[in-house]
Amino acid sequence: MPARFRLTLAQLAPTTGAIGDNCARARAAWQEARAAGADLVALPEAFVTGYQTQDLVMRPQFWRDAMAAVETLARDCAGGPALGIGAPHHDGAQLCNAYYILEGGHIRHVVKKHHLPNETVFDEKRQFTPAPLQAPYRIGPLTIGTPICEDAWHADVAAHLARAGAEILLVPNGSPYYRDKMADRWSIMGARAAETGRALIYLNMVGGQDDQVFDGASFVIEPDGTRPVQLPQFDEAIRHVDLVERTEGWRAEAQPPAALPDEWAADYRAMVQSVRDYFAKTGFTRALLGLSGGVDSALVATIAADALGPENVRCVMLPSEYTSQSSLDDARQMAENLGCRLDTLPISGPRAAVSELLAPLFAGLEADITEENIQSRLRGLLLMALSNKFGEMLLTTGNKSEVAVGYATIYGDMAGGYNPLKDLYKTRVFETCRWRNTHHDPAWMRAPSGAIIPARIIEKPPSAELREDQKDEDSLPPYEVLDAILEGLIDREASVGELVAEGFDRATVKRVEHLVFISEYKRFQSAPGTRLTKRSFWLDRRYPIVNRWRDES
């Protein structure tokens, strides 16, 4: 009779810094695995501490607390399956990103990460020491090799483990979402399985942490590229995987796969999940935002309502004399469709008072963007007053196009604690609104279904309404052109010359480039927001604020 091995995959969401709570979740998963007759229960990379910890993990008392918690967890999980869990390891000289194997009340084996990522949002070379290539370990009838996350993206670690006798590869991950990442994971992990002839188990965490969303979607992939096991994306899951020793090696018994979302659903889910977890993990339960009657604030209100429930979202309309009746009507309709509270605070009076106060200093000067920005800053002041008084986190509503070129008022509409649209270009904002109007999943969307964002909001020309008959295109290229240029400059790091060769007007490209560079100081002070691409603003793209270089290609 062929040998069998039951592996329990715990695709769960840790909270960064909540060491005790994370270990309690691991203990509960271990108990469930023990009841299911598992031989090993595996949790993701860095689960004890949460991920990413950034420089927090370098604090000696922090890693001491984490290591002590692992020792306690080993004692608590003595009479049952082995347990694999990620945590830091310090040997008295060096700090490593490690994966602990706990069995029989003791730390049986420690695997240390060899390749440390130092790209996009990762900076592990700053925080950890790279370890030499590690040995596999044996549990019952099975010898297991564990490349930790980045280690599996390089061929050498898996090849070394296979040569050392590993019969399967178990890869614990802290892998954050970006658009279309699943194809990259399947391709790279499939290559490791094919190269070694071993089945590979890819285990990823879920949950939001600051700007990043860990999206799970754990899977098993065989050397021939088949995937007998596929866990859901974004949702927590505990799944028992039965491995059987066959002539060709250990293989996983097939299970019905979870359906994965397309890119529009995945982006939207990432924005909802990031808001939900950012609030939960920072202790907030209620949100507020300025609802202008425009498309950006309509989408943010919908995301917030889906994340927190409409009853926990306050929308505030702050009209001035430049606010159109259609914007007032659209904001009211939007709030009614969502079932959110709507308060109206006209700013004409406060604006007049500020203008009167400044009049002696501004005497003889023409009105300009200064007066426009006063309106935005008054709105920010009032919204932050509501936030302080009622304990509601203010969400900002600027999309990636606006954030890129600085089409936003610092200390005004940029004020707030989180921005779900920060990595979503304006053209995708429109399409995401249309997508949400025709899609609804009650399993994770808490707002009503149906066409909740009125068509007029999506179709009308965008305007900040800070002066008479203002339109965004008075100051910016059409968004279809702007976004295409920004995608080149930011996402592809294309040169000006390359974009001109692609057919864009050189003067327009240079103007956009100028706006991107001079707006760096605004982005440096902006709220965190959901990461959707590999070139999001913050950790993915780190540019100096003071920069005199310009691309003259």
438 φ, ψ (degrees, to nearest 5): -115, 5
Question: Residue length, the chain?
Answer: 553
Q: Mind spelling out the 3-state secondary structure of 235-284? A: CCEEEEEEEEEECCEEEECCCCCCCCCCHHHHHHHHHHHHHHHHHHHHCC
**Do residues 209 and 282 touch, judged by C-beta distance below 8 A?**
no
Residue 389: in which H helix or E strand, if any?
Answer: helix 369-390
The distance between the two most distant Cα atoms of the chain, rounded to a whole number of Å, is 95
154 φ, ψ (degrees, to nearest 5): -120, 140
Q: Which residue has the tokens 């715990």?
A: 10
- pLDDT by residue (tens digit) across 296-321? 999 999 999 999 999 999 999 999 98
Can you tell me the distance from the alpha carbon of 448 to that of 75, in angstroms, rounded to the nearest whole number?
47
Can you tell me the distance from the alpha carbon of 296 to that of 88, in angstroms, rounded to the nearest whole number?
41
Q: Give me the half-sphere count of Cα atoms (radius 13 Å) on the Cβ side of residue 199.
A: 26
End-to-end CA distance of the chain: 69
pLDDT at 484: 97
Alpha helix (H) residue ranges in 174-247: 181-196
- pLDDT by residue (tens digit) across 497-553? 999 999 999 999 999 999 999 999 999 999 999 999 999 998 999 999 999 999 999
Type of residue numbered 448: P
Listed residue (296, 297, 210) closest to 538, CA to CA: 210
pLDDT at 134 over 70: yes
Can you tell me the distance from the alpha carbon of 255 to that of 238, in angstroms, rounded to the nearest whole number?
13
Mean residue pLDDT of the chain comes to 96
- Classified as helix, coil or strand, 11 is strand
**Do residues 403 and 297 touch, judged by C-beta distance below 8 A?**
no
Can you tell me the distance from the alpha carbon of 55 to that of 74, in angstroms, rounded to the nearest whole number?
26
DSSP state of 363: T
Can you tell me the distance from the alpha carbon of 378 to that of 146, in angstroms, rounded to the nearest whole number?
55
- pLDDT by residue (tens digit) across 427-442? 999 999 999 999 999 9
Can you tell me the distance from the alpha carbon of 550 to that of 547, in angstroms, rounded to the nearest whole number?
8
**Sequence-ordered strand ranges (E) for 50-94:** 82-90
pLDDT at 361: 95
| Overall average pLDDT of the 94-111 stretch | 98
Can you tell me the distance from the alpha carbon of 303 to that of 275, in angstroms, rounded to the nearest whole number?
8
pLDDT at 362: 95
Q: Give me the half-sphere count of Cα atoms (radius 13 Å) on the Cβ side of residue 281.
A: 21
- pLDDT by residue (tens digit) across 373-383? 999 999 999 99
pLDDT at 294 over 90: yes
User: At CB < 8 A and 24+ separation, what contacts does 478-483 make?
Assistant: 479/401, 479/425, 479/426, 479/427, 480/427, 481/508, 482/401, 482/405, 482/426, 482/512, 483/401, 483/425, 483/426, 483/427, 483/428
CA angle 466, 470, 474 (to 5 degrees): 120
Q: In angstroms, what CA-CA distances link 511 with 99, 178, 427, 493, 496?
A: 49, 29, 19, 16, 11
Can you tell me the distance from the alpha carbon of 271 to that of 422, in angstroms, rounded to the nearest whole number?
10
| Overall average pLDDT of the 99-127 stretch | 96
Of the pLDDT bands very low, low, confident and very high (cuts 50, 70, 90), residue 222 is very high
Put simply, whether the predicted model's pTM sits higher than 0.75 gets the answer yes
**Do residues 112 and 80 touch, judged by C-beta distance below 8 A?**
no
pLDDT at 465: 66
| Overall average pLDDT of the 158-170 stretch | 98
Can you tell me the distance from the alpha carbon of 277 to that of 13, in angstroms, rounded to the nearest whole number?
10
Catalytic residue positions, numbered: 45, 113, 149
Of the pLDDT bands very low, low, confident and very high (cuts 50, 70, 90), residue 22 is very high
Of the pLDDT bands very low, low, confident and very high (cuts 50, 70, 90), residue 472 is confident
pLDDT at 473 over 90: no
Can you tell me the distance from the alpha carbon of 374 to that of 384, in angstroms, rounded to the nearest whole number?
15
Of the pLDDT bands very low, low, confident and very high (cuts 50, 70, 90), residue 323 is confident
Q: Which domains does the chain have, with CATH numbers?
A: 4-255 (3.60.110.10), 264-524 (3.40.50.620)
Can you tell me the distance from the alpha carbon of 367 to that of 362, in angstroms, rounded to the nearest whole number?
9
Helix, strand, coil percentages, rounded to 5, for the chain? 40, 20, 40
Among the residue ranges 137-151, 369-383, 464-478, 503-517, the one predicted with the least confidence is: 464-478
**Do residues 75 and 60 touch, judged by C-beta distance below 8 A?**
no
Of the pLDDT bands very low, low, confident and very high (cuts 50, 70, 90), residue 468 is confident
**Do residues 386 and 288 touch, judged by C-beta distance below 8 A?**
yes
